[in-house]
Amino acid sequence: MRDMEKLVYNTGNGETELFIGKSWYEIGDHIIKSNTIIITDSNIHSIYGDKFPSCPVIIIDPGEQTKSITTVESIVEQLLDKGCDRTSFLLGIGGGVICDITGFVASVYMRGVKFGFISTTLLSQVDASTGGKNGVNVGVNKNIIGCISQPSFVICDPEMLKSLPEEEYISGLGELVKHAFIRDAGLLGFIEENIELVLKRELNLLTTLISASVKIKIDIVTSDEKERGIRRLLNFGHTIGHAIEIELGIKHGFAVSYGMLLAAQISVESGMLDENDLGRIETVLGKLRLLTDMPQELPDVTEIILKDKKVEKNKIFFVLLEGIGKGVIKDMEIDDLVRIIKNIR
């Protein structure tokens, strides 16, 4: 029998129910078909479309390049053509891109309609579908236009992860292990003990890990929905990781893993983290196959970092470690950060 856990969180702007381990086929329990519109991509539709509930479907191209205002305009035009009003409900079925776009469109269409997700990738199940961040890219600037608006529900069905390409699944492990690095040493130990089963995508183990990871994110988000303080911890590895992702075009989880490794090295250089903990971080990332795309030389990412949303008056809130499970937020000068990165590389 499959494990299932229901989590509920409330940021003050509405309640969100998360169903981890629940079959996505039970989506009928959560929507009214007559006022629901599905947003998905062509890949997901080709795999699961014949099992979708009988609702109108808007299909977009897969990939990060689709996260644009042009796509938003296209979806809005289709919603108008379908006669959607303020009582309509948008259901995003897909990974992080679909979650971002669906949440953003729902938040701005007619000043806001309700929405929910069926999360189909590990990356979105442990990260993108929870927390309320929705946005689109402008050029190489990731999520530079966006809002924070919480979904009504999220269904995370680990069974759907079986259809993921290996690289996509491994990429998702980067965000999962990130939560352990910043907040839960015990979770990291559990991951280390079960590396083989993690890589084999054992369903009940995945339900346990996704639930543990999401609980960490919920705890942080409910304390700081608008990212004015502790929510910045969730950016561990992302300042450098996003820049690498943009510059080299590698998948998010691999780029963030390299960013986390560099942030851990900076933590050691700053006298905050023990060398043994750095070794442990590098070992677990390696065993999870997250360092296979690691570049031999780090490209110059200064210009990209300067455009990061976390930059304020030439300073950036950068996440370091004082130990496994002990993330801390440091206010750093951009010039100092760039100098340290260049010295390490």
Catalytic residues: 111, 133, 175, 217, 227, 231, 235, 238, 242, 252
d(CA 325, CA 311): 25
Q: Which of 58, 47, 56 shows the shortest CA–CA distance to 160?
A: 47
Contact 183, 319 (CB under 8 A): no
Q: Which two tokens stand for residue 187?
A: 């979770």
Q: How buried is residue 43: exposed, middle or buried, by Cβ count under 10 Å (0-12/13-18/19+)?
A: middle
DSSP label of 161: G
Give Cα 205 to chain centroid, integer Å: 20
d(CA 117, CA 157): 11
Q: What is the DSSP string of 47-83?
A: HHGGGS-SS-EEEE--SGGG-SHHHHHHHHHHHHHTT
Contact 65, 32 (CB under 8 A): no
**Side chain identity, residue 219:** D
d(CA 137, CA 147): 12
Strand order of the sheet with strand 315-323? 311-312, 315-323, 326-333
Side-chain-side CA neighbours of residue 306 (13 Å)? 7
Alpha helices by DSSP H, the chain: 42-48, 69-81, 96-108, 122-123, 166-183, 185-193, 195-200, 203-223, 238-248, 252-269, 275-287, 302-306, 334-344
